[in-house]
């Protein structure tokens, strides 16, 4: 009954489009428009809190990762990789874990953090602040095992830093590794922390910005705003 009252559907990927048509049997028009949209200027101009500025300033280099403390988000692998880099180089490399806190395995969290004073955990950080943390970091690692499109990956590229990711649906301009492949993750970290120009970040930032603007125009047309 709810479906019958809808004038038009707009979905963010072809799998949902196919589901609506083949499984639900909708007869209305179904448009697919990617979820990537431009970041509002107000968010890009956000000021990082002094507390977080102080935290970031204690490290010479910063690796940032987002997710939650359960195994599939890969925080343990990222921590192991950063620990390897610290041991190899002797550099003061810090790991910033931005915890979404929507689920947590306390034992897993304790194992990740134990004896690692160079890890800083930031919880429930507003999105504009996350972007500023990206801007002040050297590399973003997204280690989620079941990643879909992965908006945070592209936002990190927009913030001007290299991106290392476990496999996902969007991987252009990013350094890839198989979830669980610690050697590959360490190799990518070693590369970007010694050579920040290794990844063509600016080029891909422009590509994704253009696509985001096109997506916004399509959404506005669908909603009859233009």
- With cut-offs at 50, 70 and 90, classify the pLDDT of residue 226: low
Q: Read off the pLDDT of residues 163-195 as tens digits, 9 standing for 90 and up.
A: 999 987 889 999 999 999 999 999 999 999 987
More confident residue, 225 or 120: 120
Provide DSSP, the chain.
-TGGG-S-EEESSHHHHHIIIIII---S-EEE--S--PPPHHHHTPPPPHHHHHHHHT-SEEEEEEEEESGGG-HHHHHHHHHHHHHHH---EEEEEEEEEEEE-HHHHHHHHTT-TTEEEEES--HHHHHHHHHTSSEEEE--TT--S-HHHHHHHHTT--EEEES-S--TTSEEE-TT-HHHHHHHHHHHHH-TTSS-HHHHHHHHHHHHHHHHHHHHHHTT--
pLDDT of residue 117: 97
- With cut-offs at 50, 70 and 90, classify the pLDDT of residue 196: low
Domain residue ranges of the chain, discontinuous segments joined by +: 3-36+211-222, 44-206
Give mean pLDDT, residues 1-5.
Answer: 87
Q: Read off the pLDDT of residues 33-90 as tens digits, 9 standing for 90 and up.
A: 999 999 998 998 899 999 999 999 999 999 999 999 999 999 999 999 999 999 999 9
Percent of the chain having pLDDT more than 90?
86
* Domain 44-206: CATH class, spelled out: alpha beta
Residue 198, pLDDT above cutoff 70:
no
- With cut-offs at 50, 70 and 90, classify the pLDDT of residue 197: low
């Amino acid at each position: 009954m709810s479906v019958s009252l809808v004038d038009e559907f707009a979905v963010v990927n072809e799998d949902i489009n196919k589901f609506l048509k083949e499984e639900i049997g909708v007869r209305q028009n179904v448009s697919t428009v990617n979820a990537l949209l431009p970041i509002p200027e107000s968010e890009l101009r956000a000021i990082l809190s002094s507390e977080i500025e102080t935290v970031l300033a204690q490290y010479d280099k910063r690796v940032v990762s987002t997710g939650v403390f359960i195994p599939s988000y890969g925080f343990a692998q990222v921590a192991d990789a950063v620990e390897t880099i610290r041991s190899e180089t002797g550099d003061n490399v810090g790991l910033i874990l931005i915890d979404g806190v929507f689920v947590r395995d306390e034992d897993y969290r304790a194992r990740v953090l134990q004896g690692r004073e160079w890890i800083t955990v930031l919880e429930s950080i507003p999105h504009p602040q996350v972007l500023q943390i990206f801007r002040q970091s050297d590399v973003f690692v997204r280690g989620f095992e079941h990643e879909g499109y992965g908006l945070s990956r592209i936002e990190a590229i927009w913030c001007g830093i290299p991106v290392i990711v476990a496999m996902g649906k969007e991987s252009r301009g990013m350094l890839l590794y198989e979830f669980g492949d610690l050697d590959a993750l360490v190799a990518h970290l070693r590369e970007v922390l010694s050579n920040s120009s290794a990844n063509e970040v600016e080029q891909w930032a422009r590509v994704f910005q253009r696509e985001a603007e096109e997506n916004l125009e399509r959404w506005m047309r669908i909603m009859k705003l233009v």
